[in-house]
Amino acid sequence: MRFVGQEPHCVHVKTYLRWALMRSLWLSLLAAVAIYLLRSPLERLFSSPELASVLPGIAVAIPAFTLAFVLGGFMKGVNKPATACLLENGSISLIATLLLLSMNLMWPDSGILQAGWAFALAAWLVLGQGFWQARHWLVRQKWKVIGELISRKEFRSSSQAFFFLSLAQFMQQVVGIMIAGWLLSSDELGLFRSAERIAFLISFILLVINAVFPPRFAKLFYKGDYFGLNRLAKKSSLFASLLAFPLLIICLCYPSWVLGLMGEGFSGASFILQILACAQLVNVSTGSVGFLLNMTGHEALMRNISLLCNALGLLLLLIMTSQFGIVGAAFSFATVLVLQNLTALFFAWRRLGIWMLPLPNLFKLLGISTERESI
């Protein structure tokens, strides 16, 4: 998305897409083979008696699922955000659900086995549709030679930074929940997850913004238009804040009512929802600050910020949850989210001279200069 978004009509775009697809293909094939061969040990590890019967279908789906995400990033880069969102998020789950319902009607006694194969079939169908749309876009272009082709080394270095950035997010979202599940009771974990998912809805608008704005960040930075980049970054933050504000107010002022929509017994997580909602306010207010760094050649910096913050968060989660229970877990998750976004906000100012928040520039008032001004 970063390299394609700089000049979508440059002939080098086809090379970048080929590099990304080939690299993702062989890595996803390795992952698929590993999942298939380790299906029985994984079943024992997670104490799930029927997991091994589902994993073959999941293994078959992995290459298609991965390549669909690559095509989604490509579509973002060429300013096709709606197509990108379907490739990255909604389509596979929706089609898998419809296939699962159909398969259950035809083979009602097949059990959970059909879930894995429904997901696999859905993933390959979405990938086929993604390839068709990408090819349709490619053949209609009038290509230009703009700039030089970047080296494979630079492409690989950027890819690795994004990989570890994703790994850091995995640490927080998956490993963090596993630690919380280990230290909390089943009831407490259920309350925590309910509040966390509802709070996440506050930042849902970022999914839309992150499908539209990042390629434009890359293009403006590539052209050296810092004024336009600054204006677009502020616009993304303001847009996200305005759309998320009503839901934030509801979660802060009426948490019991919001949680009550999920059923009886969830109102006990009201304070947890308020804590996480405040953290999401910071997340939304800073807009696409992470993507701003990623799309302007600072992906290694954003990787380091994310890895350090999430590693600190896991340690904090372990300590706080063991000492303060569900409230400690909520404060840990909130601290990581706030710390990561504020750190990224600081470096966006230092490296690029861009202030994301729709507020007076606190860093400038504190006398913190930017590196760009000194160049």
Q: List, for residues 312-336, the tens digit of each pLDDT value.
A: 888 998 899 888 889 999 999 899 8
Nearest to 302 by CA among 286, 320, 322: 286
pLDDT of residue 374: 40
Nearest to 167 by CA among 25, 314, 33, 52: 314
In the chain, % helix, strand, coil (3-state, to 5) comes to: 80, 0, 15
Confidence check: pLDDT of 49 > 90 = no
Over residues 196-201, the mean pLDDT reads: 86
pLDDT of residue 111: 66
Over residues 28-42, the mean pLDDT reads: 93
134 phi and psi angles, rounded to 5 deg: -65, -45
pLDDT of residue 339: 92
**Amino acid letter, residue 363:** F
pLDDT of residue 375: 38
**Amino acid letter, residue 280:** Q
Report the percentage of the chain scoring pLDDT > 70. 97
Which structure tokens are listed for 35? 């999942």
Kindly give the interhelix angle for 226-253 and 205-223, rounded to the nearest 10 degrees. 170
Nearest to 349 by CA among 300, 292, 294, 309: 292
Which structure tokens are listed for 87? 């490739």
pLDDT of residue 373: 55
C-alpha distances out from residue 362 to 32, 292, 336, 338, Å = 48, 19, 21, 16
225: three-class secondary structure by DSSP: coil
Task: Please state, rounded to an integer, the average pLDDT across all residues of the chain.
Answer: 86
Over residues 153-177, the mean pLDDT reads: 80
pTM of the model: 0.81
CA atoms 228, 229, 231, 235: torsion sign: positive
Cross-strand pairs, 144? 10
Kindly give the interhelix angle for 176-183 and 186-202, rounded to the nearest 10 degrees. 150
Confidence check: pLDDT of 226 > 50 = yes
341 touches 283 (CB < 8 A): yes
Nearest to 205 by CA among 278, 286, 269: 286
Nearest to 121 by CA among 183, 57, 174: 57
